[in-house]
């Protein structure tokens, strides 16, 4: 695909736990286990799944905050996993991140103005002081904050305003790709919509590409062009937004969608609901065959023996299920 | 029939570094026997403090229940001695918290934490309490209960801990459970399991429930009646069906409009509630929602509207302009 901005190819990230100094075998946590997808320029790919499914680790590998165990991460034609420290620094400008909790990701002793000016200094983007101040004002304006916010400290802002600062800091680097890791889940409902609208406006104005990591399926459907569903380190289904929600192929996707309560009592009273049995198994000891089979309402014998590959069931719609 | 719980004009305040916060400001609500009522609102609206006030667990001296009455089966809980109150907590009214790990004792076995309440409140012998604990674990769907009772909270997953909390809440056959964001910390599929469990048990055992949440979907599925809170006050109350079909307060309407919905075609743009959440130390004299309200008129800044009948049976809203809101929505 020529317009692919990011290509993740068979990404694997294992963490070792235990073992170490006293001897003993370290256990392997397969946080991400063979994940592949592409994101086209200007597109938003949603990455959904429950805690421990590997969505955040996938994001951190793309940001090169974690070194992958294997696999390739090709950004603008360059495989990031092969780059050394200096070359990576240049790429980091182009790939930015917005975190879930803006409070813990902003230095409490710096003013908003200083927070936004810092990356401009560190990366030598704007060297002159006056030009930097002007750029900070421009960034504040872009995210809907007032000029006087530059003199405030993070604790003087509300949660929504802090997330706007988090977004402005990402924008300071003029990135092509922003990894948004649960950017609205810590915010109040009435503020979530403000931030989602802002992200959408910035995307169309600046031509940004987003990897949008979240667990809220309604929000993901709203903002994403395509959506990948992860379960226990693997992508179990990936397709465009509309098809995922209208014709989900994987039983896990169907269960996730049915678990979301809808704000309409009349509808909820009529709605059939598939409640999944059991819990997500341990990553230390994933089940054989399809990792979802112990909880799957339609599993057959084959599912516990054979790992279903992610295969294209129809054009642009892939699922990892023997029965899809 | 008398209400199971009737909260009248309750005010709870906190002394903070930046001034006095009226976390709950003259609020009245009630729960009938066997009913599920929701308190819904965003962070800081006073929904959790309302429940803590009922349990008289507001942390003093910073926090203080200033005034009001909390009538449980006709008795004012605020007039009970601390010792009498201990007989109510857990025995008559139980509470389930958002983060079960912080409300379980990490150094006691699960079994001990269940049997302790049974021995103290119900005067059971250790043997009887053990048998009851096994029964409770079965009720909340924990398999292999004998082995589980010997384990510690850290052996349990988040979902299992919350099942444990429900078992402990039910232990002494309370008639009311206060569930404060019981599933907010859990994954979507586990959330569904826990909520279905809570509903089935409350129906089967006839326990009344107060669900405190910010999730409008959860309210729609599980509540009979809903109280919407904003800045320490209830701004609208109705049956769940009525509230969602005919919201009569601009804040409720704004909340319902601002969330994307899976059952509807995707909208081009979300309609947020503009502005920031209120600063509780500097509330305006009038309606606290005024600065963010699309329906505000001059009067709103000066005078706080009281809850008043707004259309349907037992539907009340605290808004001067609620008639105009209804007209505009109908048009």
Average model confidence (pLDDT) for chain A? 92
pLDDT at A22: 62
Please state, in angstroms and rounded to a whole number, the distance separating the CA atoms of residues A226 and A317.
Answer: 10
Beta carbons of B64 and B13 less than 8 angstroms apart: yes
Structure tokens at B185: 């910390």
Please state, in angstroms and rounded to a whole number, the distance separating the CA atoms of residues A90 and A74.
Answer: 15
Cβ of A158 within 8 Å of Cβ of B277? The answer is: yes
Residues of B in contact with A245 (CB under 8 A): 262
Report pLDDT digits (tens) over B266-302.
878 899 999 988 888 888 899 999 999 999 999 999 9
- Answer yes or no: is pLDDT of A67 > 90: yes
pLDDT at B173: 92
Please state, in angstroms and rounded to a whole number, the distance separating the CA atoms of residues B160 and B99.
Answer: 12
What lies within 8 Å, CB to CB, of A150 at 6+ separation is A111, A112, A113, A116, A136, A137, A140
> Does any CB of chain B come closer than 8 Å to the CB of residue A284?
no
- Answer yes or no: is pLDDT of A23 > 70: no
Please state, in angstroms and rounded to a whole number, the distance separating the CA atoms of residues B24 and B287.
Answer: 15
- Answer yes or no: is pLDDT of A175 > 70: yes
Beta carbons of A210 and A178 less than 8 angstroms apart: yes
Instruction: Indicate the residue of B220, B241, B277 with minimum beta-carbon distance to A263.
Output: B220
Beta carbons of A188 and B214 less than 8 angstroms apart: yes
pTM as predicted: 0.91
How large a percentage of chain A has pLDDT more than 90? 76
Q: Looking at chain B from residue 286 to 305, which residues have their Cβ under 8 Å from any Cβ of chain A?
A: 292
- Read off the pLDDT of each residue in B40-69 and give the average, rounded to a whole number: 94
Higher pLDDT pick, B186 / A204: A204
Residue A52 region, left (φ>0) first, then alpha (ψ -120 to 50), else beta? left
Q: Can you tell me the ipTM of this complex?
A: 0.87
Report pLDDT digits (tens) over A128-152.
999 999 999 999 999 999 999 999 9
- Read off the pLDDT of each residue in B101-110 and give the average, rounded to a whole number: 89
Structure tokens at A311: 């295969």
How large a percentage of chain A has pLDDT more than 70? 97
Cβ of A273 within 8 Å of Cβ of B254? The answer is: no
Candidates B270, B278, B315, partner chain A, best to mutate (most A CBs within 10 A): B270
- Read off the pLDDT of each residue in B309-327 and give the average, rounded to a whole number: 89
Beta carbons of A203 and A45 less than 8 angstroms apart: no
**Which of the four pLDDT bands, split at 50, 70 and 90, describes residue A2?**
low
Instruction: Indicate the residue of A158, A222, A263 with minimum beta-carbon distance to B256.
Output: A263
Report pLDDT digits (tens) over A98-130.
998 877 889 999 999 999 999 999 888 888 999
> Does any CB of chain A come closer than 8 Å to the CB of residue B193?
yes
CA atoms lying within 13 Å on the CB side of residue B94: 24
**Which of the four pLDDT bands, split at 50, 70 and 90, describes residue B226?**
very high
Instruction: Indicate the residue of B189, B255, B263 with minimum beta-carbon distance to A262.
Output: B263
Please state, in angstroms and rounded to a whole number, the distance separating the CA atoms of residues B165 and B187.
Answer: 17
């Amino acid at each position: 695909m020529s317009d692919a901005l990011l290509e993740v190819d068979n990404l694997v990230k294992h963490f070792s736990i235990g073992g170490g100094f006293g001897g003993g075998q370290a256990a392997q946590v397969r946080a991400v286990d063979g994940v592949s997808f592409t994101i086209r320029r200007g597109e938003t790919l949603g990455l959904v799944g429950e805690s421990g499914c590997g969505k955040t680790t996938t994001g951190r590998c793309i940001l090169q905050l974690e070194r992958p165990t294997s696999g390739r991460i090709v950004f603008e034609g360059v495989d990031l996993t092969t780059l050394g420290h200096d070359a990576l620094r240049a790429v980091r400008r182009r790939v930015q991140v917005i975190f879930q909790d803006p409070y813990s990701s902003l230095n409490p002793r710096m003013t908003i103005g200083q927070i936004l000016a810092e990356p401009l200094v560190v990366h030598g983007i704007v060297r002159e002081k006056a030009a930097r101040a002007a750029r900070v004002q421009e960034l504040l304006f872009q995210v809907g904050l007032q000029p006087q916010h530059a003199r405030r400290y993070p604790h003087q802002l509300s949660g929504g305003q802090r997330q706007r600062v988090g977004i402005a800091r990402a924008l300071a680097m003029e990135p092509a790709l922003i990894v948004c890791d649960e950017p609205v889940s810590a915010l109040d409902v009435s503020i979530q919509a403000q931030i989602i609208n802002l992200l959408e406006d910035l995307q169309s104005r600046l031509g940004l590409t987003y990897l949008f990591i979240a667990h809220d399926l309604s929000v993901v459907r709203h903002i994403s062009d395509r959506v990948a569903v992860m379960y226990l380190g693997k992508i179990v289904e990936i397709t465009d937004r509309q098809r995922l929600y209208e014709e989900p192929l994987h039983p896990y996707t169907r269960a996730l969608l049915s678990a979301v309560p809808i704000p309409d009592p009349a509808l909820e009273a009529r709605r059939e609901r598939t409640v999944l049995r059991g819990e997500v198994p341990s990553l230390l000891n994933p089940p054989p065959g399809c990792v979802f089979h112990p909880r799957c309402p339609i599993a057959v014998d084959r599912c516990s023996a054979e790992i279903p590959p992610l295969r294209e069931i129809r054009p642009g719609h892939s699922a990892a299920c023997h029965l899809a | 029939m008398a209400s199971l719980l009737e909260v009248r004009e309750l005010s709870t305040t906190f002394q903070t570094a930046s001034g006095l916060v009226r976390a709950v400001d003259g609020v009245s609500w009630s729960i009938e026997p066997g009913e599920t009522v929701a308190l819904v609102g965003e962070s800081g609206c006073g929904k959790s403090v309302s429940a803590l006030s009922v349990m008289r667990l507001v942390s003093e001296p910073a926090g203080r229940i200033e005034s009001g009455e909390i009538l449980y089966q006709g008795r004012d809980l605020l007039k009970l001695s601390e010792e009498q109150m201990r007989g109510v907590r857990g025995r008559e009214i139980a509470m389930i918290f958002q983060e079960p790990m912080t409300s379980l004792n990490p150094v006691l076995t699960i079994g001990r934490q269940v049997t302790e309440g049974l021995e103290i409140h119900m005067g059971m012998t250790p043997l009887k309490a053990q048998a009851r604990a096994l029964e409770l674990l079965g009720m909340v769907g924990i398999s292999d209960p004998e082995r589980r009772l010997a384990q510690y909270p850290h052996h349990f997953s988040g979902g299992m801990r919350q099942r444990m909390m429900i078992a402990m809440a039910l232990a002494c056959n309370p008639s009311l459970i206060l569930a404060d964001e019981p599933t907010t910390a859990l994954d979507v599929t586990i959330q569904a399991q826990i909520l279905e469990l809570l509903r089935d048990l409350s129906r089967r055992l006839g326990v009344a429930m107060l669900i405190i949440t910010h999730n409008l979907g959860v309210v729609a599925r599980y509540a009979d009646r809903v109280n919407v809170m904003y800045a320490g006050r209830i701004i609208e109350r109705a049956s769940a069906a009525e509230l969602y079909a005919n919201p009569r307060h601009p804040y409720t309407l704004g909340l319902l409009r601002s969330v994307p919905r899976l059952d509807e075609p995707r909208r081009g743009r979300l309609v947020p509630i503009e502005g920031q959440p209120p600063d509780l130390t500097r509330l305006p004299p009038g309606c606290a929602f005024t600065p963010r309200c699309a329906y505000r008129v001059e009067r709103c800044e000066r005078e706080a509207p009281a809850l008043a009948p707004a259309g349907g049976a037992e539907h009340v809203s605290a808004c001067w302009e609620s008639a105009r809101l209804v007209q505009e929505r109908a048009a």
